[in-house]
């Protein structure tokens, strides 16, 4: 049996070489490459199906029978003898089933002349629509090429995702985050790409949400074609090779930023990771796309890159597109840059939503409500008056002032002349106020 397996593996390796001689596309996912070694049994193999795939496979079987001058029954016996398996197993796929195991497809291909293998391989690639693994009843769409959604999902997995093998052979892919908005976006991309339902649940033990892809075929897709490993995410994870050679690198970076990136109150975008290699990958991608990031001083074991202040940037649409509108971080950046928000019905509503937008840290000397009340009480003031009143640095005051200006609660009264200080003016007209839109 071991000798037969070695011979079959040798033949399949030869088929791999022939298969690779065709036109190459580094962004393509070749369905026959899902399985390059003969599986142990039908519980550990890939199956494929498609509306016209059976027609292609029958053509291949008919051509084999004609070349060998044998009928299908004898062909089944020949394959059964090679595999040392039950004859009915082979017969049911050749005669009855509307889906086919990849390993058996490859064995049939190996029996064809070299010049015919590539032609049938291309037809199988074209007609394959769905795939599954083992005895699972869950069929997933098989993506033929790398696209922006898959690249984005790879970034999300690299940031906050994991792949696990569980007892009983179950395999799962998951993403964990406190922000359910980003997980909803990931769910949409999974469902559109693979055509499967993906649940999001609140963690029973942690203050976060879990997205779980309970489909072994999808997990194996990411391990086979995109280089992800099972188990805890290791610090050496980096940009997948197939993405690095593609035109979808920026989407990968967006996926990482959506989960591990931050939009700071000083209107900067930053990301800090323990994984130096991944940070370097993201830095290279962003600089390549003309996003001005610079390395920041590492804090502890983390490596940081940070953008300049974006409150006066000219290409604001490009920066906001890193996260997208209707995402928590995208809407946050849109408000900080453009002041895009919703109308206010009362002062209480404005204060409540601004407090939610600016989470006060335990060590903070001042809150945005303190700044708001001071502005309302004084009507007109300078930055030095504010800084002196609360004993805060200009960098702290500027963050709050930027938010209140974007909300149309404060305006800056520009004055010219040596030694003249600019005033900040409180706007009492609530109808003109705008508060941040918080995606959820």
**Distance from C-alpha of 135 to C-alpha of 38, rounded to nearest angstrom:** 16
For residues 153 and 87, what is the distance between their CA atoms, to the nearest angstrom?
42
Instruction: Tell me the backbone φ, ψ of residue 435, rounded to 5 degrees.
Output: -110, 155
Q: What is the pLDDT of residue 179?
A: 87
C-alpha angle 392/393/394, rounded to 5°?
125
Cα(44)–Cα(229) distance, integer angstroms: 18
Contacts for 344 with CB less than 8 Å, ≥ 6 apart: 350, 430, 433, 434, 435
pTM of the model: 0.88
Contact 198, 191 (CB under 8 A): yes
Closest of 188, 184, 333, 359 to residue 269, by C-alpha = 333
120, 111, 115: which is closest to 11 by C-alpha?
Answer: 111
Report yes or no: 255 and 263 within 8 Å, Cβ to Cβ: no
Q: Set out the domains of the chain in order of their start, with CATH numbers.
A: 2-141 (no CATH), 148-237 (3.10.28.10), 254-327 (3.10.28.10), 339-436 (1.10.10.10)
Backbone torsions φ then ψ of 85, nearest 5 degrees: -125, 175
Chain centre distance of CA 197: 16
What the block records as the tokens of 25 is: 């596309």
Local structure of 325: helix, strand or coil: coil
What pLDDT score was predicted for residue 427? 95
So what's the pLDDT on residue 17?
47
pLDDT digits (tens, 9 = 90+) for 74-109: 888 888 887 777 767 778 888 888 899 999 899 999
* Residue 245 per-residue DSSP state: T
SS3 state of residue 346: coil
Per-residue pLDDT 10s for the chain (440 aa) are 445 455 545 555 555 544 444 444 567 899 999 988 888 777 788 999 999 999 999 999 999 999 989 888 888 888 888 777 776 777 888 888 889 999 989 999 999 999 899 999 999 999 999 999 988 889 999 999 999 999 999 999 999 999 998 877 788 899 999 989 999 999 999 999 999 999 999 988 888 999 999 999 999 999 999 999 988 766 668 899 999 999 999 999 999 999 999 999 999 999 998 888 999 999 999 999 999 999 987 667 788 999 999 988 888 999 999 998 889 999 999 999 999 888 999 999 999 999 989 887 777 889 999 999 999 999 999 999 999 999 999 988 999 999 999 999 999 877 665 656 788 999 999 999 999 887 66
Sequence-distant (≥ 6) Cβ neighbours of residue 204 within 8 angstroms: none
Give me the pLDDT at residue 417, please. Answer: 58
How many whole angstroms separate alpha carbon 410 and alpha carbon 301?
A: 40
Tell me the per-residue pLDDT of 321-363, one tens digit each, with 9 for 90 and over.
Answer: 999 888 999 999 999 999 988 899 999 999 999 998 988 777 7
Q: Can you say how many angstroms the Cα of residue 64 is from the centroid of all Cα atoms in its chain?
A: 43
Cα separations in angstroms, 227 against 122, 165, 221, 243, 247: 24, 16, 9, 11, 18
pLDDT (0 to 100) of residue 359? 80
Q: How many CB atoms lie within 10 A of CB 246?
A: 20
- Structure tokens of 366? 């001042």
């Amino acid at each position: 049996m071991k000798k037969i397996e070695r011979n079959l593996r040798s033949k399949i390796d030869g088929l791999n070489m022939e298969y690779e001689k065709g036109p190459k596309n580094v962004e393509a996912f070749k369905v026959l490459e899902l399985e390059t070694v003969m599986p142990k049994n039908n519980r550990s193999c890939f199956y494929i199906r498609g509306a016209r795939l059976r027609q292609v496979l029958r053509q291949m079987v008919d051509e084999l029978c004609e070349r060998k001058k044998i009928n299908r029954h004898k062909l089944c016996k020949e394959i059964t003898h090679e595999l040392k398996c039950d004859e009915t197993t082979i017969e049911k796929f050749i005669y009855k089933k509307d889906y086919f195991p990849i390993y058996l497809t490859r064995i049939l291909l190996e029996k064809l002349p070299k010049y015919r293998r590539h032609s049938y391989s291309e037809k199988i690639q074209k007609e394959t629509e769905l795939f599954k693994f083992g005895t699972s009843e869950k069929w997933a769409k098989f993506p033929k090429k790398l696209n922006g959604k898959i690249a984005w999902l790879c970034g999300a997995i690299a940031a906050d995702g994991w792949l696990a093998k569980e007892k009983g052979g179950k395999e799962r892919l998951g993403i964990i985050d406190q922000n359910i908005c980003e997980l909803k976006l990931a769910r949409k991309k999974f469902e559109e790409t693979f055509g499967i339902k993906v649940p999001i649940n609140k963690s029973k033990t942690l203050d976060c949400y879990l997205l779980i892809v309970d489909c072994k075929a999808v997990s194996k897709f990411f391990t086979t074609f995109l280089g992800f490993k099972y188990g805890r995410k290791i610090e050496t994870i980096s940009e997948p090779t197939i993405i690095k050679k593609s035109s979808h690198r920026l989407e990968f970076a967006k996926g990482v930023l959506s989960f591990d990136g931050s939009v700071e109150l000083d209107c900067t975008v930053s990301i800090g990771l323990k994984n130096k290699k991944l940070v370097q990958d993201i830095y290279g991608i962003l600089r390549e796309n003309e996003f001005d990031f610079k390395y920041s001083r590492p804090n502890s074991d983390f490596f940081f890159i940070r953008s300049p202040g974006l409150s006066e940037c000219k290409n604001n649409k490009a920066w906001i597109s890193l996260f997208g509108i209707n995402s928590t971080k995208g809407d946050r950046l849109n408000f900080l840059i453009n002041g895009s928000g919703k109308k206010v019905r009362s002062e209480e509503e404005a204060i409540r939503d601004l407090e939610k937008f600016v989470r006060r840290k335990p060590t903070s000397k001042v809150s945005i409500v303190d700044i708001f009340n001071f502005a309302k009480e004084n009507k007109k003031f300078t930055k030095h008056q504010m800084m002196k009143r609360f004993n805060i640095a200009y960098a702290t005051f500027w963050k709050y002032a930027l938010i209140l200006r974007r909300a149309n609660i404060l305006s800056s009264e520009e004055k010219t002349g040596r030694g003249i200080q600019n005033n900040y003016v409180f706007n009492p007209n609530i109808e003109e106020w705008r508060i941040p839109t918080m995606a959820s």
